[in-house]
Amino acid sequence: MSHSSIAWFRDTLLPQAEPPAGQTGVIHWLRARLFNGWWSSLLTVVALLALFALVNAVLPWLANSVWQADSLGECRRVLNGESGACWGVIRERWPQLLFGFYPQALYWRPLAAFVLLFVALGPILFKRVPRGVMWFSAGYPGLAFWLVWGGSLWAPVLAYAGLALAVLSFSLARRFGIGIALICALGVASTWWLHGMHVLLAVVDHQAPLQLVAVSSRELGGFLLSFVVGVSGIAMSLPLGILLALGRRSSMPLIRLMSVTFIEFVRGVPLITLLFTASLLLNYFLPPGTSFDLILRVIIMVTVFSTAYMAEVIRGGLAALPQGQTEAAQALGLDYWKAQRLVIMPQALKISIPMIVSTFIGLFKDTTLVVFIGLLDPIALSTAIRASTQWQGIYWELFLFIGGVFFVFCFGMSRYSIHLERRLKTDHR
């Protein structure tokens, strides 16, 4: 036999064959995932026993629920000594848990603001939304404020006019330098909001009144309050955190020192301390005769607290980028702000998505801390409900309902984060 007739490699494919019987099916999955060794088998057995005990304790309690009851005593009479959940408290008090003491005839207003929020977030969260909706997104905060608190429609309109004046003054003063332009913009906006806006508001409101029934802040409560504080803090902390992160990495010593001082100070102070500051001390730093609404003060402090943490999250994303990205942007002739907007920041934000959403979730849950300064969040309302003669002694049903609602919102943010990561392919695989 000649060497040329010997086949050194296969020139035809093997026919497709079924995998071995021991490598497929439920039995293989159980062995690979749950009983892969004695330690894994022990943990599986312990977990199954704990799960069985939990289900055995909770399922009969949930299955024997009472919905039609006007008091805890009536629930107990219906249960006749058996264990069961008394969901009558939720059926009777769910409007209070959701809206606080907001007037019942005006529930449509916060509901409309909630629905319109998703319209405003459309261009930000999804790709196939007309970019013209961005104009609505920009005007949504003022519209939501008007819907929730009522009063004159001209108040948010004139507040936006202050922003327009700030942008105009910044553009006119930019030739003298960015620092001077920022000072001019802040001065013009502050003067307008503190003085000029109120004078013009009285005139315009008298000539063309456009008003809704005013609702005071003390009537806001429940999940409406948590949602207002949480969404406001989330919406403002992200852009401010980006600016603060850039300030901390700035080559200008004064900007860097101010950014580092702000971040380290705020991160070193508990949120509850800032909330007490908002409740008791913030008015002392304002001009005489100026009074900020308590909820507005809380929003400011929550935003300040979240901004410091968000700045560190963004800084971590910026630090993860190779220096070559900055050098490539400079080689293209881009200035600092264009390089950040077009090259650096989009990549840093993609890397930081998990921690950004985690910070948002933590912020939304931390809104329950406002109970310590007298605001009626869901926890405070549950305490008030349990103190009433009708529902004195009820616990689990209220806390399960509150926890379930928080879980729905937080789980929704988490799932959108996963969707966004997959869409942007942040893992580069």
Q: Is residue 228 classed exposed, middle or buried when 0-12, 13-18 and 19+ CB atoms within 10 A define those classes?
A: buried
Q: Is residue 357 very low, low, confident or very high in pLDDT (cuts 50, 70, 90)?
A: very high
Integer Cα distance of 129 and 202 in angstroms: 38
* Torsion 209-211-215-216 (CA) sign: negative
The answer on pLDDT for 158 being more than 90 is no
The percent helix, strand, coil of the chain (3-state, each to 5) is 75, 0, 20
pTM: 0.83
Mean pLDDT of 180-192: 84
Integer Cα distance of 270 and 66 in angstroms: 41
The length of the chain in residues reads 429
The answer on pLDDT for 2 being more than 60 is no
**Above pLDDT 90, what percent of the chain?**
28
- Give the bridge partners for 95, in sequence order: none
Integer Cα distance of 263 and 252 in angstroms: 17
The answer on pLDDT for 427 being more than 60 is no
Q: Is residue 410 very low, low, confident or very high in pLDDT (cuts 50, 70, 90)?
A: very high
Selection from 265, 182, 220 nearest residue 98 by Cα = 220
Pick the residue with more confidence: 405 or 197? 405
Considering the domain boundaries, does residue 175 fall inside one?
yes
Q: What pLDDT score was predicted for residue 365? A: 92
Total number of domains in the chain: 1
Considering the domain boundaries, does residue 198 fall inside one?
yes
Q: What pLDDT score was predicted for residue 182? A: 80
Q: What type of residue is 266?
A: V
Q: Is residue 240 classed exposed, middle or buried when 0-12, 13-18 and 19+ CB atoms within 10 A define those classes?
A: middle
Range of the domain at 171: 151-212
Considering the domain boundaries, does residue 163 fall inside one?
yes
Considering the domain boundaries, does residue 103 fall inside one?
no
Mean pLDDT of 303-321: 91
Give the relative orientation of helices 197-207 and 154-173 as an angle to the nearest 10 degrees: 140
Of 146-150, 159-163, 205-209, 417-421, least confident by mean pLDDT is: 205-209
Considering the domain boundaries, does residue 260 fall inside one?
no
Mean pLDDT of 204-217: 84
Mean pLDDT of 132-140: 83
Q: What pLDDT score was predicted for residue 22? A: 63
Q: Is residue 7 very low, low, confident or very high in pLDDT (cuts 50, 70, 90)?
A: low
Q: What pLDDT score was predicted for residue 429? A: 47
Considering the domain boundaries, does residue 170 fall inside one?
yes
Considering the domain boundaries, does residue 294 fall inside one?
no
Express each pLDDT in 245-297 by its tens digit: 998 888 888 888 999 999 999 998 888 888 888 777 766 666 666 667 888 88
Considering the domain boundaries, does residue 190 fall inside one?
yes
